[in-house]
Amino acid sequence: MDLLAHLPALQVVVPLIGAPICALLTAPRLSQAFAVLVSLVTFAISLILLNQVLADGVIVYGMGGWQAPWGIVYVVDPLSALLLCLISGMAAIVMPAVRLGIGAETTERSRRLFLSLALLALTGMLGIVITGDAFNLYVFLEISSLSSYALVATGTDRRAVAAAFNYLVQGTIGATFILIGIGLLYMMTGTLNMADLGERIGDLRDTAPVQAALAFILIGAAVKAALFPTHAWMPNAYTYAPSMVSAFFGATATKVGAYIMIRFIFTVFGAEWVFGTMMVGWILVPLGIAAAFVGSLVAIWQTDLKRMLAYSSVAQVGYISAAIGLGNHDGLIAAIVHVFNHGLMKGALFMVMACVILRLGRADISSFRGLGRRMPVTMACFVVAGLSMIGVPLTVGFVSKWYLVLGAIEAGMWPVAVLVLMSSLLAIVYIWRVVEVAYFAPPPDAARVREAPALLLVPTLMLTVLCVAFGIATDTTVGVASYAIGFLVGEP
């Protein structure tokens, strides 16, 4: 029973301790098994926390017994519990396949520490989501960022290293912007606890430092979320990183940026001021719509399908930020649900790329010719997750687009609703290109290509099934999201 009370700490501590132990286990099979164990335990903790939050409300855990506002507290509210489940769930699903999946895409010497780095990245992202302390958030952000720069650089293509360097430079600028914002907030309020900040910020909202803090934090979070036009680091990083890295980060890393945005806007600054006085909605919505169009249009012209998926992520992050920018109830539901849903579908699509690259060694569009018959299960997953990306009913993509359109109409911005639907048509084009080649083009005469091994196929299938399952059982995600909003706007 005592252990249950410490779950919020264990959520972060388990993968944190797991990472160095994993590095010490030199036998590859052993370290793989250990990493799987750690991620499963982490996922189990997230599920228990979500369950507790839904039953009893917000959990506040004072680190080392120091209570807020003096100590660092971990706060699990429904929003963070949902994201904890997404992040640790993705890790638990992807982790068993890592060693097989990276075999073809990493260099020998980088493979040894790969799992430790993955666990560290997991630690960082879980920490960002669970912490209730603004500076602690920055520290966890850097833990996850530093390990993801290194993970991107493990790719065999030399461009992976160049992409990692660009990612590092832009990511560091983004994180340091958040640091400046937090500093300004501390200077004005004398506290770092987010709930405390939200209370003390009151009359200070009209002062220049607080307004500057909002700008710095939003720009920093936008860089981390790869919101157009600060997305420049993402296409190369996700294209040349090993597919397993793209699958995990494509599903989670950009979502953490969106989380930081939501958390600071609603818990710290207060939505009324951000959207009313500062009119941030007029920045987020146009940028989000622009991202949806630019990302989808560029995705249509890509021949490398991992790059296509990366640009599609630019578009999807656009939907999320547009949904946040609407600033009303349905918009926020769309944002939270899409953070979760896009994680599932982008994870599934990148896992398909991992399967294809393992068998064919590359993932450009010409190599997909005839794959519909040669790797039927893999391609079926691509089709289902792709339909979800477009937003076809009965898939998760539909749920989030539905609420986004509802939110736009509620906000009286019907052009936004029209533009969202139009940009979805572009998604049909880039998904259909692949489907056409895979199912209607004759396969090349080369040696027979077998279906991907079960170890990779099962996680891909699981994510795909979840895309449909949460598309049908919409009450779960939407229910948690609207419950979360109650806590965010302070009227549970």
Partner 1 sequence: MSEAITFVMAHANTWAATALICIGLWVVMVRGNLFKKVIGLNIFQTGVFLFYISMGYIRGGTAPIVVDRPDAVYANPLPHVLILTAIVVSVATTSLALALIVRIRESYGTTEEDDVNASDEP
Q: CA nearest 149: which of 165, 128, 138?
A: 165
DSSP of 9-36, one letter per residue?
A: HHHHHHHHHHHHHHHH--SHHHHHHHHH
Q: CA nearest 385: which of 355, 420, 350?
A: 350
What Å distances lie between residue 50 and 180, 248, 394, CA to CA?
Answer: 32, 21, 25
Verify cis geometry, omega within 30 degrees of 0, for the bond prior to 69.
yes
Q: Minimum Å distance from CB 146 to partner 1?
A: 6
Q: In this structure, which amino acid lies at residue 441?
A: A
Nearer to partner 1, 18 or 69 (CB): 69
Q: Which of 91, 122, 128, 150 is the binder for partner 1 (CB under 8 A)?
A: 150
What is the Cα–Cα distance from 27 to 115, expressed in whole angstroms?
Answer: 12
Q: Minimum Å distance from CB 387 to partner 1?
A: 32
CA–chain centroid gap for 188, Å, is 31
DSSP of 135-200, one letter per residue?
A: HHHHHHHHHHHHHHHHHHTTBSSHHHHHHHHHHHHHHHHHHHHHHHHHHHHHHHHS--BHHHHHHH
Q: In this structure, which amino acid lies at residue 309?
A: L
Instruction: Choose the stretch contacting partner 1; rule: CB under 8 A; options: 152-160, 368-376, 398-406, 444-452.
Output: 152-160
Q: Which of 56, 64, 158, 206 is the binder for partner 1 (CB under 8 A)?
A: 158
Q: Minimum Å distance from CB 237 to partner 1?
A: 12
Q: CA nearest 256: which of 135, 149, 140, 354?
A: 140
Nearer to partner 1, 184 or 218 (CB): 184
Nearer to partner 1, 153 or 456 (CB): 153
Q: In this structure, which amino acid lies at residue 71?
A: G
- What is residue 74's three-state secondary structure? strand
Residues near partner 1 (CB under 8 A), total: 24
- Rg over CA atoms, the chain: 21
Instruction: Choose the stretch contacting partner 1; rule: CB under 8 A; options: 60-68, 72-80, 155-163, 395-403.
Output: 155-163
Q: Which of 41, 71, 176, 443 is the binder for partner 1 (CB under 8 A)?
A: 176
What is the Cα–Cα distance from 309 to 233, expressed in whole angstroms?
Answer: 14
Nearer to partner 1, 190 or 376 (CB): 190
Q: Which of 28, 159, 277, 373 is the binder for partner 1 (CB under 8 A)?
A: 159
Nearer to partner 1, 135 or 439 (CB): 135
Q: Under a CB-based contact definition with an 8 Å cutoff, are residues 31 and 80 in contact?
A: no
Q: What's the DSSP call for residue 265?
A: I
Nearer to partner 1, 24 or 208 (CB): 208
Nearer to partner 1, 183 or 486 (CB): 183
Q: Which of 9, 41, 104, 180 is the binder for partner 1 (CB under 8 A)?
A: 180
Q: Under a CB-based contact definition with an 8 Å cutoff, are residues 309 and 347 in contact?
A: no
Q: CA nearest 6: which of 59, 53, 85?
A: 59
Nearer to partner 1, 175 or 201 (CB): 175
Q: Which of 165, 392, 421, 451 is the binder for partner 1 (CB under 8 A)?
A: 165
Contacts of partner 1 in 77-96 (CB under 8 A): none
Instruction: Choose the stretch contacting partner 1; rule: CB under 8 A; options: 183-191, 250-258, 453-461, 465-473.
Output: 183-191
Instruction: Choose the stretch contacting partner 1; rule: CB under 8 A; options: 161-169, 252-260, 270-278, 481-489.
Output: 161-169
Q: Under a CB-based contact definition with an 8 Å cutoff, are residues 91 and 39 in contact?
A: yes
Q: Minimum Å distance from CB 173 to partner 1?
A: 7
Q: Minimum Å distance from CB 178 to partner 1?
A: 11
CA–chain centroid gap for 237, Å, is 15
**Residue 186 makes contact with partner 1 by CB under 8 A:** yes
Q: Minimum Å distance from CB 135 to partner 1?
A: 5
Q: Which of 187, 279, 422, 454 is the binder for partner 1 (CB under 8 A)?
A: 187
Q: In the stretch 107-146, what mask flags binding to partner 1 with x, by CB under 8 A?
A: ----------------------------x--xx--x---x
Q: Which of 68, 168, 201, 385 is the binder for partner 1 (CB under 8 A)?
A: 168
Q: Which residues bind partner 1 (CB under 8 A)?
A: 135, 138-139, 142, 146, 149-150, 153, 158-159, 161-162, 164-165, 168-169, 172-173, 176, 179-180, 183, 186-187
